[in-house]
Amino acid sequence: MSETIQMQSIQNIIYPADLIRMSKETLEKICTNMGITSDGHINMLVGRIWEHIENDQVAQREVLEFCKNQLLCPIKTSVSWFRLNHHLLTDTDTPNLQGARERIVKYCTENHGFNPFESKHNPNPNSITNPVLIGGAIGDNPNEYYLRFIYTAGYSRHNGIRMEIRPIIKLATVYFQEDSDFVEVRTDSKKARDVIASLSQILGPEDYSFSKVNITEHHDNELAAIADNLGGTLYNTDSRLFDPLDLQDLELNSIVEVLEALNEYFKKGNTDELLEQLEKVRENLGEDTFVATPFTALMIAGLRGIGLNVDKTQDVRGTPFYSLVSPNVETVGGLIQFPFTEGGREEKYRIQVGLHSQSILFQTAATENVIRYVRERVVFIR
């Protein structure tokens, strides 16, 4: 009688690189639950844990069960989203990823001799060019899956008796639901497209291709609207002029002269000197300059942009300076803090939103439920 092979869960596709990004408190609890010493620094704790569970799927599931919703969303997790290109579908197709798991299994079985949902694949790091699928897991919800990819993020040099060049290997997580049309990629936003290209190759590029989702498409390209939808505060912004100005030396010097004139006025209180200097600048630049371009915009252009920051419990939108500069600038990124209650306990989470990269970086460690909350409130609003 053949033995039934159990599908892998999230705990079975974890590596030391995942554990080392978890909090020391969580690692100590894992050690305590395993009955092994919880003393020492994080590297020591991870080493002990991995030594006991590396080749034991049952132990992995049992030991990591209490924290499984944290395992794939540690601190500094960057998330991007991609949507299935519907133009590839025929009238009889459904706009979702139904059947994707079967295609993944077929591809890996035929090309690498393993089922990624039953075991992990460990390729030679020196042979990796494009992102490689090394394992997969079933989620808690129907049609919910996680995939792990590895890719080369660069090379490091080791100087010992002889020079050695070694690849720097990074992990990426892909999350998808077969009854939806999107894929979530958790890795450096610059590498997310490479990962989705590898997934498309596995699924069949003639049938499955993806486009990156604009995370502000439901928010009028406003970072402030994202903060509101999360019930959070926008406590940091990075802004640029709507229309970049190419300032010459005369304009740059004039900005400095105005600021210096104000400094002198506040020191001495001499109104005549201030007016004289302002009139000089106005004359040098020409009256039409200030009709077409406010001085505020000139000053921001001279700074190449502007960043505003307040305490995390406050909101930059409530500051006078934000009101002054906001008509002239577009926000290209910022930090948001929002509350989320899980298990009867409210926690504060911080994310960095990049409007150019179209990604969200979790500044604090998250959970699967927190990422789902952001996904449904920001990206795929229902």
Q: What is the structure's pLDDT at 268?
A: 84
Write down the pLDDT at residue 208: 87
Contact (CB, 8 A) for 239 and 353: no
> Is the pLDDT assigned to residue 298 strictly greater than 50?
yes
Contact 324, 277 (CB under 8 A): no
User: What integer pLDDT is reported at residue 91 of this predicted model?
Assistant: 54
237 and 324 belong to one structural domain: yes
* Cβ neighbours of 85 (radius 10 Å): 14
pLDDT, tens digit, 9 for 90 and up, residues 130-140: 999 999 999 98
Same domain assignment for residues 228 and 369: yes
Q: Looking at the 3D structure of the chain, how many domains does it have?
A: 4
Q: Does residue 330 sit in the same domain as residue 230?
A: yes
Of residues 206 and 10, the one with the higher pLDDT is 10
199 falls within a domain: yes
Q: Which of 190, 212, 234 delimits the end of a domain? A: 212
In this structure, the answer to whether residues 367 and 254 fall within a common structural domain is: no
Which bin fits 140, alpha (ψ -120 to 50), beta or left (φ > 0)? alpha
**Per-residue confidence at 2, pLDDT binned at 50, 70, 90?**
very low
Cα 169 from chain centroid (whole Å): 18
- Residue 5, domain member (yes or no): no
Whole-number Å distance between alpha carbons of 38 and 29: 8
- The reply to whether 107 falls in a domain is yes
Cα angle 291-331-314, degrees, rounded to a multiple of 5: 110
CB 238 within 8 A of CB 332: yes
CA 76 and chain centroid, separation = 7
pTM of the model: 0.86
Residue 349 and residue 284 share a domain: no
Q: Is residue 147 part of a domain?
A: yes
Task: Indicate if 334 and 362 belong to the same structural domain.
Answer: yes
Establish if 326 belongs to a structural domain: yes
Answer yes or no: is 217 within a domain: no
Decide if 79 contacts 362 (C-beta within 8 A).
yes
Structure tokens at 170: 């990074």
Residue 205: φ, ψ to 5°: -60, -20
For residues 350-355, give the mean pLDDT: 93
Rounded Cα distance, 54 and 50, in Å: 5
Q: What is the pLDDT of residue 107?
A: 95
Q: Are residue 90 and residue 161 in the same domain, yes or no?
A: yes
In 97-230 the beta strands, taken as DSSP E runs, fall at 132-138, 144-159, 163-177, 182-186, 210-212
Whether 259 and 192 share a structural domain? no
Mean pLDDT of 301-311: 74
Indicate whether 297 belongs to any domain: no
Q: Cα(173)–Cα(357) distance, rounded to whole angstroms? A: 18
Say what the pLDDT of residue 382 is. Answer: 63
The string of pLDDT tens digits covering residues 173-213 is 999 999 999 999 999 999 999 999 999 999 998 888 899 99
In a domain? residue 37? yes
27 & 107 share domain: no
Q: What's the mean pLDDT when you consider all of the chain?
A: 87
**In terms of domains, do 14 and 105 share one?**
no
User: 30-68: per-residue pLDDT in tens?
Assistant: 999 999 999 999 999 999 999 999 999 999 999 999 999
Domain that holds residue 371: 223-243+304-379
Question: Is 80 exceeded by the pLDDT of residue 274?
Answer: yes
> At 243, is the pLDDT very low, low, confident or very high (cuts 50, 70, 90)?
low
Does residue 122 sit in the same domain as residue 184? Answer: yes
Q: What is the pLDDT of residue 1?
A: 41
Same domain flag for 86 and 202: yes
